[in-house]
Structure formats: structure tokens, C-alpha cells
Structure 1
Amino acid sequence: MNSLITNVTVAGIFAGPSFQSEMISQSLLWERLDILDQNVNWYKVRQFDNYEGWINKFYTIKNESSNLNFATYIETNQIGVIHSYPDEECNPIISCTFGSRLPVVETKKIKNQWWHQIILPNLNTGWIQDNGFKKGKSIREIIKQIAELFLGTPYVWGGRSSYGFDCSGFVQTIFKFCGINLPRDSKDQFNYGNLKEHSKEENNVGDLIFFLKNDMINHIAISLGNDNYIHSSGYIKINSFNSKNENYDDSLFSMYYCSKSIENLIK
């Protein structure tokens, strides 16, 4: 199947071949997009999670990377900057967001800082500084560690980047970083087969919490344990099921539907 590579920091994926249509998701730098159809300067594409939508041609480049076989650097800053040379003072080429996966040509230490020379989708190269991120000891710890990095990040409908997330895009991004590929939308995340339902009193860090409105799953959050949960609603924030907690939200409490354990995903 013919494919494209996303050639910009973040590109909108739309419901139809027009910027006037709804943005339903996003694609990050270097993500592959399988071509399903074309309408003038728009491609209908399928993403890594099987989500389908339309992207404008100018966000993409023809996939010429099938023969590339390099190590991968995963950006762990909210926003990373790719420079022309391994020097923070030199001109930037492009930025990338958290979770972007970049092919690495070489890594070297310069002035006590580690730098990665990476390949760009147009096969030019640039340099990005490693921020020395240290993961927690367990998947649950890493989920909490990463999720809390984004506190205050705005809600963006269809968003799945550091510039803004919708609720399911936030959850998908955190879990993808941990090697767990969840579906894109909250209703599909709810139906994901390896999750086991339990009561909210049994919530552990990293478990998923689902909310219902008009008989439809319409919101998702990540448990932080101790009745607390983190989610994207207006912005990424922490709320609580404990009515005595200052972060208690009665409207969310009334919409609560169920919780599901991720234990089968992390064994």
C-alpha cells in the first residue's frame, strides 16, 4: 500500500477533504499514513491505530523511508527542537512534540550534553538534545509520571499532541509511550478487549475511568489512585471522587459509568 510520512510538527486529520470539516485527530512528525483515497490536494489516510480521515498534501511527504534501519529516539519533552547543528544557539529546523519517534544516525556528548543526529522525513538531518528523561520503575508509575507532565495543557477537539489533547487522545498518547496501543476514541477504548471492569474503589494508578452521557461513553480519565484521576476537560487537570476533596466535581461524579483495570495490559 502506498503511504505518506507526516512532514510537520503536528498535522490535522479531518473528517472530510476540507479545512472547513471537523478535525478528528492529528498526526505527528514522522508518523506513517497509509493512502486510501485522494481528492485533489487531500488524501484519505489510515493511521497507526486504524483511524481514518483526510489530510492535506502539504503536511506530508512521499514515504521514501522503507529502507531506513536506525535506532529510534522518542521525544520526552513537551516540545523538542531540532537544530541544524548540536548547539542550542544555532537556528532551529523544526520542532517536535512529546512521543514523536525520530530515527537516529548517531549520538554524541558535546559540552556535557547528549545530542542525537536524526533523519528528517525529507532525508535531511538535524540534531536534537536528549533531556535525560528517567522512567519510573513500573508501567503504572510511568503512566502517572508522564500524565502529570501535561497538567494545564489545553483541551483541543481531535488533539493528540503537546499543544492540546482531547480526552481520548491524551490517554492514547500516554499509553503509547508505555508501549500500549489503545484505540483512538473513548468508546473504542471502553470496548478494548484486554481491560477488566471493576469498581472505582478498586482503582489503581493507571486504571481507566469511563463516563457516560446520553447513554454513550463520552469521556475517559486515568486513575491516579486514592480517588483521584487525571483527564483532559477544558485543560488537563486532576479531579477526585471524594466529595471532601477540593478537586471533587459533582457533574463528573454523576456521569461516572465504570472503571477498568489495565493489569492484563502490563503483565
Structure 2
Amino acid sequence: MVGICKIALASLRKLPDHKAQLISQVLYGEKVHVISQRNKHWWRVVCDWDQTVGWVDPKQFEFNHFKFPQLLETESQSFALEHFHGITTEQKTVPIMLGSNLYSCDGLNVKMPTGKFQYTGQHVDLEQSKHSRKLLLNISRRFLHAPYFEGGRSITGTDASGFIQIVFKMIGINIPRYPEEISVLGDDIGFYNEAVPGDIAFFGKGNKDISHIGVIIEDGLILHAYGRVKADRLDQQGIYDLDEKRYTFKLRSIRRHFPLNN
């Protein structure tokens, strides 16, 4: 059974308990697949976009697959570009945020599995912008000063890999949830001086340890979530924190997920 998130942001927890560790979040319009049902309060699901498994409150999802069944079998081609905006009907307004999925969006009307809505904010359409490096960099900058939040992947709070996952999602590139999983994908850039804006940089203490991640936004500058989403200096040694005036992360590798001509 497939479910679609019908609120701005739903929690995905490690255990069926509101006090349990937050391992990820589900944005409005994102899909999950039900694995099991513990009770009416907790269902175990797997996230459609990265296969992360956890527990959600089913009341925050629409599981009626008879509504717009064709949409449940397709991927969203549009995403909300506003930090915060409402998606509306005559009866209600649902607040949504940057990166939310908008199905069958024509620039105003949106056909969600939960009903027909209108969205008047800016949005990204993958038909015009798929794998766009320029758009990736613009979206990344929209996250500046979003607070660091372990397990988060939204403008209201994100961890390092959650930030990367969302900005790449919005140009049509699916990225796994955890840095060590992301670090084996894409093309390896062997030399720092060959890196270009949009490349993902990986950091860690040991040769095989990957504990941090960020996106290069221009030569010598990286955007990453550390306390908040912020821009710091990047060189062959690693990240030089402009606030702390010291190196905080050691560079391990750089990888590319799109053609250079994009």
C-alpha cells in the first residue's frame, strides 16, 4: 500500500514512539510504501525516494489509493520553490515548504492524490530544468541559514546529507539518505582543482570514514549544514570555518552527479 504525505512535514522515526530518534522527514507530496501496521498510531514504511525505513503516524498520510491512482504510479515533476507557501482549495489551505512535491502542476492547478489544489507560488518544473547545475546552485543558496537539525531534511531544519538530498531532488537526481551511501555514487573527481560548482565534497577523520558532506557553490566555497546551512572556505585540506577561524572537516573525496554541459 502506498501513502502520500498530506501535511507540510512528517517525522520518520527509528522506533514507534514520538520520543524515538528522528531518522528522516517526509515532505508534503512525498510517497512511502507500507511494510507493516503496529496499531492505528504507528505504521512502518519505506520511503519511495531513498528506501529509508522507519515509523510514521498514518494520520499524516493519505493511504486511499483509489484517489488519482495514476499519480501513485508516477513521479512528481514539479516542486515548490518558495520557502513557505499555501496550497489551497475553497475549503482549506495546507502550508507547504521548499521541496514539496506538486503533482500535475500547470503553474496554478495541482492534482494531488488528496484532491485538487491551487498553488500560486514559484515552482520547479523538471521538464525545463532537469539536471540543471545553475538551478541546483540557486536552490542550495535558498537554504542559507536554515538551522542544523539531526534527522531533518527541510528548510525548518536539516542535517548535512538531508540538505544535499533535497536540493538534488529538485533537479531530478535521487540521492541516498546517508553520506557514506552518497560517497560511492557519481563520478569521482580525483583532483581538487578539477572540481566545479555543483560537485559534492565528502569529509571525515579516517581514510574510509565519511562523516560530513557539502556542495561546492563556487571556486573555494562550499555550502554545508554545520550549526546552520552556511558557506565556508574549501581547499585541498578541507573546510575552513569562517566563524571559528579554523579547519573543521578534512576533505576525503569529491564526486559529480551531472554532465558538465549542464
Aligned residue runs from structure 1 range 17-28, under 5 A: 17-28=16-27
Distance 2:174 2:198 in 1: 14
Distance 1:126 1:257 in 2: 45
Checking the alignment, whether the CA contact within 8 Å between 1:136 and 1:145 is kept in structure 2 is: no
Distance 1:246 1:31 in 2: 34
1:67 Cα offset (Å)? 3.1
Aligned residue in 2 for 1:142? 135
Aligned residue in 2 for 1:93? 93
Aligned residue runs from structure 1 range 79-158, under 5 A: 79-85=84-90, 93-104=93-104, 116-123=108-115, 125-131=116-122, 139-158=132-151
Structure 1: state its 5+ residue gaps: 86-90, 108-114
68, 78, 82: which one pairs with 1:77? 82
Distance 1:132 1:159 in 2: 22
Checking the alignment, whether the CA contact within 8 Å between 1:172 and 1:182 is kept in structure 2 is: yes
Equivalent residue letter for 1:66: P
Please give the per-residue CA displacement for 1:65-91, whole angstroms capped at 9, x wherever unaligned.
323499854211111212335xxxxx8
Distance 1:198 1:23 in 2: 35
Please give the per-residue CA displacement for 1:88-107, whole angstroms capped at 9, x wherever unaligned.
xxx861111112122347x5
Checking the alignment, whether the CA contact within 8 Å between 1:211 and 1:219 is kept in structure 2 is: yes
SS in 2 for 1:33: strand
Checking the alignment, whether the CA contact within 8 Å between 1:153 and 1:163 is kept in structure 2 is: yes
Distance 1:136 1:57, change over 3 A: closer
1:221 Cα offset (Å)? 0.5
SS in 2 for 1:151: coil
Aligned residue in 1 for 2:69? 66
Equivalent residue letter for 1:190: S
SS in 2 for 1:251: strand
Checking the alignment, whether the CA contact within 8 Å between 1:73 and 1:103 is kept in structure 2 is: yes
SS in 2 for 1:8: coil
1:198 Cα offset (Å)? 2.0
Distance 2:16 2:71 in 1: 31
Aligned residue in 2 for 1:261? 256
Aligned residue in 2 for 1:228? 221
Distance 1:68 1:168, change over 3 A: closer
Checking the alignment, whether the CA contact within 8 Å between 1:155 and 1:233 is kept in structure 2 is: yes
TM, length-normalised to structure 1:
0.82
Distance 2:260 2:2 in 1: 30
1:42 Cα offset (Å)? 0.9
RMSD: 3.0
200, 210, 221: which one pairs with 2:202? 210
Checking the alignment, whether the CA contact within 8 Å between 1:222 and 1:229 is kept in structure 2 is: yes
TM, length-normalised to structure 2:
0.83
Please give the per-residue CA displacement for 1:185-233, whole angstroms capped at 9, x wherever unaligned.
11101122x3213222222100111110365211100012321100111
Equivalent residue letter for 1:27: V
Deviates more, 1:125-134 or 1:92-101: 125-134
Aligned residue in 1 for 2:169? 176
Distance 1:266 1:161, change over 3 A: farther
SS in 1 for 2:247: helix
Distance 1:117 1:139, change over 3 A: closer
Distance 1:9 1:122 in 2: 13
Aligned residue in 2 for 1:4? 3
Aligned residue in 1 for 2:246? 250
Distance 1:44 1:246, change over 3 A: closer
Distance 2:77 2:130 in 1: 21
1:238 Cα offset (Å)? 0.3
Identity %: 24
Distance 2:82 2:3 in 1: 25
Checking the alignment, whether the CA contact within 8 Å between 2:158 and 2:225 is kept in structure 1 is: yes
1:44 Cα offset (Å)? 1.0
User: Larger Cα Rg: Structure 1 or Structure 2?
Assistant: 1
